Amino acid sequence: MARDNPKQCTLAHEVELAGIGIHTAEAVNVRIRPAAAGTGVVFRRTDVADQPYIPAALAFVTSTELGTTLGAGGVEVSTVEHLLAALAALGIDNAAVELDGPEVPILDGSFGPWIEAAREAGTESQPDGATTIEIADATTVQGEGDSSYVALPYPGLRISATIDFDHASIGRQYGDFRLDGPGFEREIASARTFGFYEEAGALRSRGFGRGASLDNTVVLDGEGVMNGDLRYPDEFLRHKVGDLLGDLSLVGGRLRGHIVADRPSHAGNVALARAILRQHESRQRAREIDIRQIMEYLPHRYPMLLVDRVIEFEPRKRIVGLKNVTINEPFFRGHFPEHPIMPGVLLVEAMAQVGGLLLMDAVDDPRDKVVYFMSLNNVKWRRPVTPGDQVMFDVEMQNLRRRICRMKGKGLVDGKVVAEAEMTARIVDK
């Protein structure tokens, strides 16, 4: 949760809008209604039998070509990013979006009408705390083509972006936007989607852009912008930033971090959102593994319990545990007492204990099991470990068949490998 423990928020009243889809050209009516705490944003196609709900979540993304499409049960809703960006910018966690067609209407091509509609409806605080997804560690993602992203820790929400188009009216543009509070409405909301006149025929033949016009799209031809004046000198860049926020909202919480995006695309945006969500879920799982649970799962006790904390955990895939080495470790009294060095066999033992915790997720009741290591291969010690070091053990599962597992692990101090090994272990009954 966020540091100030914000509460979830929904609309105070329902609101309706109508327009055409930029790709389908179909007329669509949209009603956005309040939703209960914990619902999230969900879409419902009222023109389809049984009216299935489609959550605005990464697991339901079905396409990122020229927009973001969500689907469930064979039913899809396309071009959701503008509406989602507006709801995210206003901190609206829960809303039910009902529409009688396959595509969210484009309206004037910007995020502004959705912001205005939500403002008209008003917002209402809910008793449950909002989910805040904070970027804790630097994350790098390579998107499609030349697009790339870096996500960094930051106390608020900040997006720095660069676009580069081979057109005199766009070229290379860069901007840095702080989107907390009114930042989105002031800096991004009015920026419209854009396209190139020479590509229109080919896109329409593929079923895209059939509803595009000068009323809802900034259109560029060989001479420049066909619509007249732009709303911002860098309107193209700002619209890409808004699309990025809409796609990132699919993580399912209020995002906190600094996103640096180079040539963002919908596919790359979604890939970044998936990476951020994986990091968040890994940290959430790791927080649940404290020293008390470690002692429940491992039979070791002082002085042979060599795992202090688990900081990352992906079930049946990967685990990262920490060992803080102090001068008070009992082995230093007899192992090079004048030049204390942690015994190499204990480094491997600590790595094996971290690996044992990873295996405990592979059985129904880990408290009735114990892990015995059967073999060690390619064991290497690279650097000495001395008092004051914090060893991070990173263990990956290579193969699990029945109750026999092969793992590969390494220990690092300040990012440098101090030990590594390949391990085979068996899970047995106590």
The pLDDT of residue 219: 95
Catalytic residue among 23, 239, 266, 280: 266
Q: Which class would CATH give 291-429?
A: alpha beta
Q: What is the mean pLDDT of residues 64-79?
A: 95
Which of 302-311, 329-338, 406-415 has the highest average model confidence (pLDDT)?
406-415
Question: With 90 as the cut, is the pLDDT of residue 184 above it?
Answer: yes
Active site residue 266: yes
The pLDDT of residue 395: 94
- 347-374 per-position pLDDT tens digit: 999 999 998 888 766 655 666 677 888 8
93-107, 252-266, 301-315, 405-419: the lowest-pLDDT one? 301-315
Q: Backbone phi, then psi, for 303, in 5-degree steps?
A: -95, 15
Comma-separated ranges of CATH 3.10.129.10 domains in the chain: 291-429
The rounded distance, in Å, linking the Cα atoms of 286 and 274 is: 18
Nearest of 92, 112, 93, 91 to residue 17 by alpha carbon: 112
Is there a contact between 127 and 40 (Cβ–Cβ < 8 Å)? no
pTM surpassing 0.75? Answer: no
274's enclosing H/E stretch is helix 266-287
Higher pLDDT: 301 or 93? It is 93
Is there a contact between 171 and 161 (Cβ–Cβ < 8 Å)? no
The pLDDT of residue 148: 95
Confidence category of residue 119, pLDDT binned at 50, 70, 90? very high
Cβ neighbour number for residue 221 with a 10 Å cutoff: 13
9-18, 34-43, 176-185, 369-378: the lowest-pLDDT one? 369-378
Tell me the average pLDDT of the chain.
90
Non-local CB neighbours of 428 within 8 Å, separated by 6+ positions = 369, 370, 371, 372, 403
Active site residue 82: no
**Strands of 222-331, DSSP E:** 224-225, 254-262, 309-314, 318-324
Confidence category of residue 415, pLDDT binned at 50, 70, 90? confident
Comma-separated ranges of CATH 3.30.230.20 domains in the chain: 7-284
The CATH number of domain 7-284 is 3.30.230.20: yes
Question: With 70 as the cut, is the pLDDT of residue 287 above it?
Answer: no
Give residue 382's identity as a one-letter amino acid code: R
Residue for token digits 């329409």? 204
- 220-266 per-position pLDDT tens digit: 999 899 998 999 999 999 999 999 999 999 999 999 999 999 999 99
354's enclosing H/E stretch is helix 344-359
